[in-house]
Structure 1
Amino acid sequence: MLTHQRKHYLLDLLQREGQLVARTVSETLGLSEDTIRRDLRELAREGLLQRVHGGAIPNLPASPALAPYASREQLSLEAKPAIGRAAAAMLGAGQVVFIDGGTTCVQLVRQLPRELRATVVTHSPSIAVELVNHPLIEVVMLGGRLFRHSIVNVGAATVEAIARMRADLYFMGVSSLHPQAGITTGDHEEACVKRALSGAAARTVVLASPEKLHTSSPFQIAPLNQVSDIVVLRDTDEALLAPYREMGIAITLA
């Protein structure tokens, strides 16, 4: 089979099946997996599909959460406080928690009771300022270079500091969430920091307002097997949630 014939076959199969697994296709065609992976890489460069670990999926819509911070504050105005309340209820007294930057995480800390005694570690100045009036919460700020788009600190110094810590929970904000593409965001350095935070936490809780589901952003933070919980709005379509439930991820409805 010639290269252009293989590519046509791959795109046709992707349209019919909704995803491609390179190993399965290689066995079906009697070709090496490297050949199929090379074809998929070339098709991805042409903008005809999206590569994921082990194969490919159709191009996904870009997430509205890639917009500047001020614009994101106007998204899901009712959903984010509800998600924040549900997430805040997961935090127990005496715990050490990582809290991400972003507009949904701001809603989370606004829901924390004033009498809560805990330690919050964050790379977000916005989160730290929100916690000023919580006298029993110890706030630890991670330094680094300020990434203005998300108003968080990023870089090698941030990742190095995270490596010396361990947390009970990490409340992660994401730009995009998809069963095959995983959890993704719009900046490489920000993805590195989120990945480090997740790796240093016993449990990672993803806060997913409606506009983030079934979308894709350029940089993967981690595959979904690193996620313990996802918090979504109560009226989210069950068809969107089913793949996560099948992976064993706990779904909290806000």
Structure 2
Amino acid sequence: MLTKQRKQHILNTLQQQGNVVAKTLSQELGVSEDTIRRDLRELAKAGVLQRVHGGALPASPAVVDLTGRQQLSSDEKALLGRAAARLIEPDQVVFVDGGTSTLQLVRALPVDLRATIVTHSPVIAAELISHPAIQVVLIGGQLFKHSGVAVGAAALAAIRSIRADTYFLGVTGIHADYGLSTGDLEEAQIKRALIEQAAETVLMVTADKVGKVSPYVIASATAVSQLLVTHSTTPAQYQPLADLGIAVSLCE
């Protein structure tokens, strides 16, 4: 079997089964495990899978920059944003992550809502300027331009001085076994700190991120209290997460 055919077989198996095991592939294809591991390295470099111990899992496609992500699943994100906005109650202190789904959340907030929104995203903060009753706390630090959020020691210190009722989290992947993940190490640290400082964490997630993984682990999947999905996400995708005790809500 040619290398191109072998790689396509790996990708087909990954799509059908949700994971691949190097030892199993080597037996199926009659090649060494070293050959399979080389294929997996090359496919991982191309961004089409994420290597894990013994094999690989589907890679999240949501690792492009903020501008690029705005074009992905826009209708689904608007639906998730409206559902998430309804969860915010008057006078709550709420962490809002950076990202395109959370941008839809703040755009859906009632103009007369009275609450405190804490964010490390200048984009999210600017969207709330026209909300007279919302107090906006903007966390500062080094701007990570890829995602349009503040990172670093200053941001971490500011986050750890605040306790919030709810954190609306953004990720590039959630997997029942491999947890919550993202594409940048410092972003992962910021998100972890926000989870620790919130009474509960809500994740709005598009179908392309469920069952997917990225290189940097934020926390286990059970750090999420509630998972908001749409009908684009199949029961087969979200059921392993529901089995962990996570409340899964289908947004209409």
Matched, 1:198 2:195: yes
Choose the corresponding residue for 1:212, options 209, 212, 217.
Answer: 209
Quickly say closer, same or farther: Cα 1:137–1:248, change in 2 above 3 A.
same
RMSD: 2.3
State the distance in 2 between where 1:121 and 1:13 align: 48
Deviations 1:127-169, CA, capped at 9 Å, x for gaps = 0011011100000000100000000000011011111110000
Q: Aligned to 1:203, what secondary structure does the other structure show?
A: strand
Q: Letter of the aligned partner of 1:65 in structure 2?
A: A
Q: What is aligned with 2:86? A: 89
Q: Aligned to 2:78, what secondary structure does the other structure show?
A: helix
State the distance in 2 between where 1:15 and 1:181 align: 24
Q: What is aligned with 2:155? A: 158
Runs (5+) with no aligned partner, structure 2: 1-20, 28-36, 45-49
Query: Residue 61 of structure 1: CA displacement?
Result: 2.4
State the distance in 2 between where 1:165 and 1:189 align: 19
Query: Residue 211 of structure 1: CA displacement?
Result: 1.6
Query: Residue 13 of structure 1: CA displacement?
Result: 6.2
Percent identity, aligned pairs only, is 47
Choose the corresponding residue for 1:231, options 223, 228, 231.
Answer: 228
Matched, 1:146 2:143: yes
Query: Residue 234 of structure 1: CA displacement?
Result: 2.6
State the distance in 1 between where 2:153 and 2:212 align: 28
Q: What is aligned with 1:110? A: 107
Q: Aligned to 2:56, what secondary structure does the other structure show?
A: coil
Q: Aligned to 1:139, what secondary structure does the other structure show?
A: strand
Query: Residue 186 of structure 1: CA displacement?
Result: 0.5
Deviations 1:53-83, CA, capped at 9 Å, x for gaps = xxx5741222121011111100001100000
Q: Aligned to 2:62, what secondary structure does the other structure show?
A: helix
- Of residues 145-154 and 61-70 in structure 1, the stretch that sits farther from structure 2 once superposed is 61-70
Q: Letter of the aligned partner of 2:231 in structure 1?
A: R
* Structure 2 counterparts to residues 168-207 of structure 1, below 5 A: 168-207=165-204
Structure 1 residue runs of 4 or more that deviate by more than 2 Å after TM superposition = 10-16, 46-51
Runs (5+) with no aligned partner, structure 1: 1-9, 17-42
Choose the corresponding residue for 1:76, options 34, 49, 73.
Answer: 73
1:14–1:57: 8 Å Cα contact kept in structure 2?
Answer: no
State the distance in 2 between where 1:224 and 1:159 align: 22
Q: Aligned to 2:112, what secondary structure does the other structure show?
A: coil
Quickly say closer, same or farther: Cα 1:116–1:180, change in 2 above 3 A.
same
Query: Residue 235 of structure 1: CA displacement?
Result: 3.8
Query: Residue 14 of structure 1: CA displacement?
Result: 9.2
1:15–1:58: 8 Å Cα contact kept in structure 2?
Answer: no
2:23–2:54: 8 Å Cα contact kept in structure 1?
Answer: no
State the distance in 1 between where 2:204 and 2:152 align: 23
Deviations 1:180-204, CA, capped at 9 Å, x for gaps = 1111000000000000000000000
State the distance in 1 between where 2:111 and 2:180 align: 32
2:22–2:54: 8 Å Cα contact kept in structure 1?
Answer: no
Q: Aligned to 1:63, what secondary structure does the other structure show?
A: coil
State the distance in 2 between where 1:241 and 1:134 align: 34
2:206–2:233: 8 Å Cα contact kept in structure 1?
Answer: no
Quickly say closer, same or farther: Cα 1:242–1:121, change in 2 above 3 A.
same
